[in-house]
Structure 1
Amino acid sequence: MLARISKAMANWPMIAVTAIFAFAVNSGDVTAREQACELQNLADYPDVAFVSATFLTKPVGHCRVEGIIRTETGFVLLLPDDWNGKFVMGGSGGFAGNYANAAQDLWNVVGSGWATVATDTGHKGNALSASWALNNLERQVNFGHMAVHRTAMHAKAIIKDYYGTPSRRDIFFGCSRGGGQGLMLAQRSPDLFDGIYAGAPAYSWTDEIAGRWTREAQLMYPNPDQITTPVIDARALQVLGNAVMARCDALDGLADGILNDPRQCDIDVSALECGTEGTNQCLTKEQVAVAEAVYGSLSYGNSEWPGVPYGAELPGNPLGWERWITGGFIPKEQVDFHPGLEDEVFEAPPVPNARWGFATGLMKYFFYSDPDWTYKDYDFSDYAHNAARLSPTLDATDPNLSEFRANGGKLIIDNGWMDGSLSAYGTIDYYENVLAFDKTARDDVRLFIRPGVAHCQGGPGPDGTNYIAALEIWLNTGVAPEKLDAPFVNPMTREPTGNGRIICAHPGTVTYDGSGDPNDPASFSCENFDLTRR
């Protein structure tokens, strides 16, 4: 039987149980719907222990089910009364440890009738803390890929039993860590989802986050015991950001604080170096060297990873350099690095910026299993060995998406050009590796780089593109998107303001017509230019 309404009904004919269940879910009688959302009325699953089932009326009537898979993989599943027959899983952020759900947090999907689930990936804690991984292989594997896979499988089974029919459309929506989870699903679990959105994907935990970011930490904070003032301090960051905008902002035809494609920017950072007299409008030799390292491909041991695009320097960008790259430790202040995370229950580790926190967390608790590890005098001589050991668990770098595509899957990858976190250049590299493996992959995989958009959302650019709707249209019509609407939205409510532009499928660049209304999508087109990074 699909849903056990009560023990007393265990032997009733299937048709009777289904009729009672349908009445309970679809009836306007709140009491009947509350009864359907009770622990004893949920089906049994060998690997799941349900913690609670609560009927809630906001944002719409729905059943909130919390449970644990196996030893400690927690999940929260929302089951709306007025179900649209579809399921979307929301990805998490950072080191997870909570029930952040990108789909629900950004788009209120349950309010539109979607069933949706989120997982803590097998541990509880602040999303900037990796201490939970110390000498715990099960937690590391759960975080790497297993928890999302198991949660998706069990959520789909619960949905089928709860409603009496399986979901007819399954989508994954995640950004940052969630974007990496999306790529991992396309590679490891190719039959679980019809469509996947992988925004600003944290897909290379060993090379980008552990390797490059640790080397960057050594440059920005040479003394790991002094994390209050970075080499590029607030004054220097303002100088750098002003210089980039003065040189490059208007190259795309609009002086609006947005670089439509930072690869057009040809600023010479070394020209900002102070002369013998020096002023407060220049950079020291050390600051120039560190800035050039952040912008350029940075080597660590025998590996390297590309730098960050120009444009995210100014402190006004809430998820730019100040939050992710420079910063400075302030006692009792937590680094708010990802939209939608609510970690106030858990204390954050003392970090000067988010990159520093993630890099040192990985090194301490994944690479070396030593809470006292420090990057002081670290020379990366054994980095490659540890990276090779961890990469199969953590990294979603496989360009072979053939099985996902053979199942009819569609994948949208995205990054903001003003993202101070996960470099758009690294995201472009993964996409181009996919096409190098199989050039026909572009039939089923698209990459969008959003001008003026920070990490997942925010920044001066239009960040209101509805990727869930875009995936649905693609799946329904079979027509891959070459461009998408990009509305400007209220940063608090996420409601469109009535203005907007477009975003272009890579390698297209958003191009202004030179005279139209800069807040009208009709004033922009997608053009291909021969642009390469520095």
Structure 2
Amino acid sequence: MKQYITLVLTPAVASASLLLAGCGGSDGAAIAPDTRQNTAQQACDALKSKTISGATIGAATLVAAAAPTPGYCRITAKIDPSLNFELRLPDSWNGKLYYGGGGGYNGAIPDASGFNLSALQQGYATVNSDSGHQGSPVDASFALNDPNAAQLFGSLSIPTVMSSALDMVKAAYGAAPKHAYFEGCSNGGREALMTAQRYPNLFDGIIARAPAYNWVGFMGAFNRTAVALAAPGGQFTNAKLALLARSVRDACDGKDGIVDGMVSNPAACTAADFNPASLRCAGGADSGDSCLSDAQLAVVASWTTPAVFSGSPTYRNAGWQLSGNEDDPGAWPTWVTGNGNVQGALQFLFQDTTVKNYLARSPSANSLTYGAFDQNQNALYALEALNSATSTDLRPFKNSGGKLILWHGTNDAALSYKSTTEYYQGLQTRFGSAAAVSEFAQFYLAPAVDHCAGGPGADTSDLLTALDNWVDKNTAPATLAASKFAVDGKVELSRPLCPYPQYPRYTGPANDAQAGKLAANYTCTQP
């Protein structure tokens, strides 16, 4: 297990002197949890009204088991001046700690659902925070005049919370966690990589799903596409979006061995197979839903090409690949077009609040007329220093025994899977080979899956168990299982989750729709 040094924190929690140190990585001498561990009620009693390692506990509440949630003690705590977190201590503790990341610009504590619920069901003590401020996840106004809140959001909230949470777990159960893991998606994925880079001894294993690691690059890309959509004639009707998606599927769906409404071999879908210009309206003017105007093709070009900004090689975004499922409700309608209102799209909202509060530093700034995204180099540098996690130098993390799993859905309209691929390839360049990286990191692409979850693809995979087996048993993850569940909880389809660069190729009986829903009829194959 990692060896942790506890910090006793003052209100100045965002001081640059805040560090967590460690001594080595997994030492092979596993420390078993105390067999006399407390029940959830006893954990609540042990922590109620305490101040532990700079965190004041506001409430310790027993939550009764109610399927699918197990019984646990819910601890709410605050580290002055404004960092709130929640610790959940299960009745049947497995001796380990799970930290779940946030989303967007945070501002609220994630609840006991999704990945957090899954960890709680497996017996983990779980912790989440609001990252040091309270507000909407699409509102960065906290960063305008509060450097402390900006630093906490950028990189300091997780190590700050961990220093208190570890001591709380020990006080509640009579033993320190055997292992500590972090899992996050989107901004939580950024938090994951930020922690691996800046606090390499903090967690034994980290899962970064769809990581928003390149804050300057993707915010700039968001801005560029929003401007293109807001231009006269740039917006898409639902029918035009369906035309674009259908055209991609018609060209590339079968390249994975089966036509099933999903492009599961995106590497094989090239411009030779589908060129958006083939959908151009005669003369370039909009003539209806059977074609795309020049203004709409400009949006597609903004979307698919790299966005590069001056000042640093890291100020870039890889661009998205057309997936054939852009018309999924959780894809372009939510993130790009805003269902016909660009200012209601999440990409617009994120870039708008970023321009206002980090770059122009004026709440009245208009992001659509702001001009060149990289015009203020000092502001861009400050944004990068606070929020980006682009470094591939994970040697301290690797040397401490840390393990990393990267994951990204290929129908993600929020963040490009191509950017995460670039990061993984950057690791291979840094460490010299794919084999060297595989000693501590693995990368998975989930075909036709939206941002973090959703979409027509198999969006559910238990990466936490795979990570725990890697850390605890030295069993490196290879091909994993992925499923898509219906509302009633039944499995709609299953697929193998293939290590990059492999994809799931259909090898089952021809023209058998039911066989196409079963993972057993797919083989992980090199593109």
Normalising by the residue count of structure 2, what TM-score does the alignment of the two structures yield? 0.84
**How far has the Cα of 1:235 moved from its partner?**
2.8
Deviates more, 1:35-44 or 1:167-176: 35-44
Q: Counterpart amino acid of 1:259? A: V
**How far has the Cα of 1:381 moved from its partner?**
5.0
Distance 1:115-1:106 versus aligned 2 partners, 3 A rule:
closer
CA deviation digits over 1:311-367, x for unaligned, max 9? Answer: 25443x23211111112477xxxxxxxxxxxxxxxxxxx942011111111111122
Q: Which residue of 1 aligns with 2:329?
A: 318
Q: Which of 299, 304, 328 pairs up with 1:290?
A: 299
Q: Which residue of 2 aligns with 1:398?
A: 391
- The DSSP-based 3-state class of the residue aligned with 1:134 is helix
Contact 2:404 2:442 in 1 (8 A): yes
Q: Which residue of 2 aligns with 1:480?
A: 476
Distance 1:432-1:101 versus aligned 2 partners, 3 A rule:
farther
Q: Counterpart amino acid of 1:473? A: N
Contact 1:252 1:511 in 2 (8 A): yes
CA distance in 2, matches of 1:483, 1:70: 44
**How far has the Cα of 1:63 moved from its partner?**
1.1
The answer for unaligned runs of 5 or more in structure 1 is: 1-20, 27-32, 224-228, 331-349, 530-534
CA deviation digits over 1:100-144, x for unaligned, max 9? Answer: 158755643223321000000001111111122222111110001
CA distance in 1, matches of 2:404, 2:296: 40
CA RMSD of aligned residues (A): 2.4
Distance 1:299-1:139 versus aligned 2 partners, 3 A rule:
same
Deviates more, 1:424-433 or 1:517-526: 517-526
Q: Which of 423, 427, 431 pairs up with 1:434?
A: 427
Q: Which residue of 2 aligns with 1:55?
A: 62
Distance 1:104-1:323 versus aligned 2 partners, 3 A rule:
closer
Deviates more, 1:229-238 or 1:57-66: 229-238
CA distance in 2, matches of 1:499, 1:260: 14
Does 2:112 match 1:112? Answer: no
Q: Which of 21, 25, 41 pairs up with 2:38?
A: 25
CA distance in 2, matches of 1:453, 1:43: 43
Does 2:524 match 1:526? Answer: yes
- The DSSP-based 3-state class of the residue aligned with 1:185 is helix
Distance 1:377-1:70 versus aligned 2 partners, 3 A rule:
closer
CA distance in 2, matches of 1:380, 1:295: 18
Does 2:237 match 1:233? Answer: yes
Q: Which of 445, 449, 464 pairs up with 2:445?
A: 449
**How far has the Cα of 1:279 moved from its partner?**
4.5
Does 2:377 match 1:364? Answer: no
- The DSSP-based 3-state class of the residue aligned with 1:518 is helix
The answer for unaligned runs of 5 or more in structure 2 is: 1-33
Distance 1:108-1:522 versus aligned 2 partners, 3 A rule:
closer
Does 2:307 match 1:327? Answer: no
Q: Which residue of 1 aligns with 2:30?
A: none
Does 2:219 match 1:219? Answer: no
CA distance in 2, matches of 1:37, 1:230: 56
CA deviation digits over 1:247-267, x for unaligned, max 9? Answer: 221222211111112232231
CA deviation digits over 1:431-450, x for unaligned, max 9? Answer: 11111111312211011010
Contact 1:232 1:326 in 2 (8 A): yes
- The DSSP-based 3-state class of the residue aligned with 1:94 is coil
- The DSSP-based 3-state class of the residue aligned with 2:62 is strand
Does 2:197 match 1:187? Answer: yes
Does 2:152 match 1:145? Answer: no
Distance 1:384-1:95 versus aligned 2 partners, 3 A rule:
same
**How far has the Cα of 1:272 moved from its partner?**
0.4
Does 2:259 match 1:255? Answer: yes
Q: Which residue of 1 aligns with 2:78?
A: 68
**How far has the Cα of 1:36 moved from its partner?**
4.8
Q: Which residue of 1 aligns with 2:44?
A: 37
CA distance in 2, matches of 1:41, 1:98: 22
- The DSSP-based 3-state class of the residue aligned with 2:78 is strand
1:502-513 matches, within 5 Å, as 502-513=496-507
**How far has the Cα of 1:95 moved from its partner?**
0.8
Contact 1:215 1:300 in 2 (8 A): no
Contact 1:205 1:391 in 2 (8 A): yes
Q: Counterpart amino acid of 2:361? A: S
Contact 2:277 2:297 in 1 (8 A): yes
Q: Which of 260, 264, 272 pairs up with 2:268?
A: 264
Deviates more, 1:277-286 or 1:55-64: 277-286
**How far has the Cα of 1:193 moved from its partner?**
1.0
* Count, aligned residues: 475
Q: Percent identity?
A: 29
**How far has the Cα of 1:467 moved from its partner?**
0.5
Contact 1:104 1:110 in 2 (8 A): no
Q: Counterpart amino acid of 2:146? A: N
Q: Counterpart amino acid of 2:293? A: T
Distance 1:496-1:200 versus aligned 2 partners, 3 A rule:
farther
- The DSSP-based 3-state class of the residue aligned with 1:307 is coil
- The DSSP-based 3-state class of the residue aligned with 2:201 is coil
Q: Which residue of 2 aligns with 1:84?
A: 94
Deviates more, 1:275-284 or 1:177-186: 275-284
